Amino acid sequence: MSFEPATDSAPDSAPDSAPDSAPDSAPDSSPRLMVAVLGGTGPQGRGLGRRFALAGHEVILGSRDGARAEGVAAELASALPGTTLSGASNAAAAAAASIVIVAVPYEGHRALLESLRAELAGKIVVDCVNPLAFDDRGPHPLAVAAGSAAQEAQVVLPDSRVVAAFHHVSAVLLEDPLLATVETDVLVLGDDRSATDAVEALVATVTGMRGIYAGRLRNAAQIEALTANLIAINRRYRTHAGIRITGL
């Protein structure tokens, strides 16, 4: 992903190249879920879709343009034999999946969720959107009336189980076909403990990732804002920094 992430949801810079490792390979067995990624044609969405598919899940990439989503999913599936990937409109993807990940630019965040309130009712909705802006001094967090993008999602989706997660995962690393593991911790926040447990379990199916419960949804603002610091780190050191929690 570029310095200014298209999904507002990952802390990438633009180094000369990503680290090389062994090629991706799907695990022999894993808990199988149907996971939708709204905004699935952007770098972060594609990257998360790739990793969930390799973990053995059925993945639906969603987009405002269903035909575009189908094309991106078909291209990705052809590079990942044995995986199950499809594309659809955001509405169709949200309706079909059991867990829905929101990876869209913040400026379209609220409107998209309002339009999908019925499709998302009763489901786990994982918000990984970072409300950020960029100026000549670099990235900085935006003020959100609800407190954070994740809290805004819960206000808009009162019948959904909103969880905040995947804010600090590099899209460049997620999409790298030569990188077999993505070594990072994923901070998971939410008010519904069974929902956060389910998201932590989903995280753990991706090789190298570990889900860490990091508090209630009211604490999501500082998690989202921290992405601005990671982008600054990545720019300065030309890397794809992530988060590791010590002592666990």
Domain residue spans of the chain:
34-237
**pTM for this structure?**
0.88
Residue 84 carries which side chain, given as an amino acid letter?
T
* Helix, coil or strand: residue 189: strand
| 227 in Cβ contact with 7 (< 8 Å) | no
Q: Which CATH number fits domain 34-237: 3.40.50.1460, 3.30.70.20, 3.40.50.720, 3.10.20.30?
A: 3.40.50.720
CA distance 144 to 115: 20
- pLDDT level of residue 12 (50, 70, 90 thresholds): low
pLDDT in tens, 170-216: 999 999 999 999 999 999 999 999 999 999 999 999 999 999 999 99
pLDDT in tens, 90-131: 999 999 999 999 999 999 999 999 999 999 999 999 999 999
pLDDT value at residue 8: 54
- Mark 43-70 as b/e (b = at least 16 C-beta within 10 Å): bbbbbbbbbbbbbbbbbbbbbeebeebb
